[in-house]
Structure 1
Amino acid sequence: MIRLLLTTLLVAAGFLPLAAQPTIKRPADYGYRHLRVPYGPDTVDVLILSKPGEEQRRKPLLLFVQGSLPKPLLLVHDKGTYPLFPFKGSGLYDAFHLVIISKPGIPVVADVKTLQPNFSYFDPRTQAPPLAYCQRNHLDYYVARNAAVLKYLVRQPWVDARTVVAAGHSEGSTVVAKMAATDRRLTHVVSLSGNPAGRMATMLAQQRGAEGADAAALFRYWQHVVDHAAEVTCTPADAPKTTYSFSVPPAEYLRRSRVPVLVLYGTRDAGAPFNDAFRLDLMRTRNTRVTFHDYPGLEHNFFAFKDGRINYDDYRWDEVAADFGRWVQTGRVAAEPTTRP
């Protein structure tokens, strides 16, 4: 399934006209509860996955904050839909009600044939993301919106508000980092494949790692972003406001966290050296609120490598999810790997 997903990401056809779009089922047809939560002038789409038969059983809550790109939550193909969460054998389904929030202005469910090759949704009329997405696609919106959703959810009788976890991957790691410093409803935060130095630091690291790379254009781009930090544009590229908000170093939020934080990352991820440096600095300052755990040889999406290439048959998300589930319940991650020189 995972390999099929990645292959489809590379070869999926372009979107079709609206008239050619297939009939899309409801989230409930795929096993998800669909809630619509008011937030200011917006109505926020929220999907919840619970163990069958335990939808009303009182359990802890796990909010999973996905990465970037204006993707629908449920990606429908000829045989059904791709898994919404990247972990399935980790035990999290038994222990939590799993929650995910749709990107603003993006359909909750879409057929993959109507999407871009990377599964992004573009407005068929403008060939760009919807204006509602462009206007809201920045850090402060996501943090405040998520807080409003949690405020609603923790009041539900099937939620055990004594344990409320926010776990964010990639871009989502920055969202949960700021939530750790601001949201009093959370009890635990998990940062997955983030960069405590921010988005532009990751982009520069990737550029530096390319053979014959010249980072001058990225520095010019960053200067433009800084000079237009509040500007909202609506093109396939991120607006300056988006890039600026996600480039403020999340380390600033993690140092002020109100709750325990677990930082998980693969050592072959572009953000790994920055996590290593942040880890050393928190050890120096005796900050024990943030715990780190690295996965030797894994990349950004927790795949391993074989013969110098990503091995899409060696997928470690279940291991990672089991580790952070154990940390939430016991305060301990799996045993640290043997010390290496």
Structure 2
Amino acid sequence: MKTISLNERDVREAVSMREAIDAVRGGFIGLAGGEFEMPTRTALRDGQFLVMSAHHRPTRSAMIKTLSVNFDRAPAIAGSVVWSTLDRLDQLIADAGAVTTLRTGAAVGVATDLLAAPDADRLTLIGAGGQAADQVRAVHTVRPLRHLTIVSTNTRRARSLADTLHAELGGTEIRIATDPSSAVSDAHVVCCATPATSPLFPESALPARVHVNAIGAFRPTMRELPDELLAGSTVIIDELDAVLEESGEIIHALQSGVITEDGLTELGTVLTSAPADHGNRTVFKSVGVAMQDWAIARLLADKFLR
């Protein structure tokens, strides 16, 4: 029996964003096909402590993640991901912060590849925290970017993020902004990665055709998107039970009567359906589900537990 422990650097060096996107895409398809046993996550202290688990029936493997979330520290996410299988005694333990940001970015990559215009190359990213870089990497992987606008009230953090991404994005033009409303006006793709408790911009600020990813709000008290955007868009979610329990945007819009549960479609369902025209405005709302962590953990297990 052996236990492999991986830190953030180990995870980053082992799994590329392309690999992560492919693995998470397969996971969403498996989720739609009933392959997973996946309880709604346990949230303590209003989401500052989280426990998530997933069992993949075909491989007899399971993942359990425990973490703490504190936006007043850096990094905000700390904890561990444990992967094991019934077929062997070995287990893998990986840094939860690296796995979480990577799998969240990967889900956005899957959704953007499916929903954004084929020629989309202008991304507006709102938020410059720990999730931000992988949001950009994921979108760039499926829609090579010519323009990136980073929106943050913390301009020093935004410039640091821009410096980090500059070498990775090649010739992409990067600019810094502080006003979300003006920054989204010419975007092809918008990524929201903030701990906001009220909408970041009005629906009217967006162009007629745009794809929006919202991953920052993961509790009922948090919101990044306005009701009007959800009402006028095709809304794709990661998993119905999860967003009904945890997504402030979805809960608020349902209570306001501007959308119904019938108007919410899980990403896995769209991936396994015939191609469709989803209209000019699409939204991917994700609170994050354990299957995504399992998908990254399985990649790591395949590489390190041989």
What TM-score does the superposition give when structure 1 sets the normalisation length?
A: 0.27
What TM-score does the superposition give when structure 2 sets the normalisation length?
A: 0.29
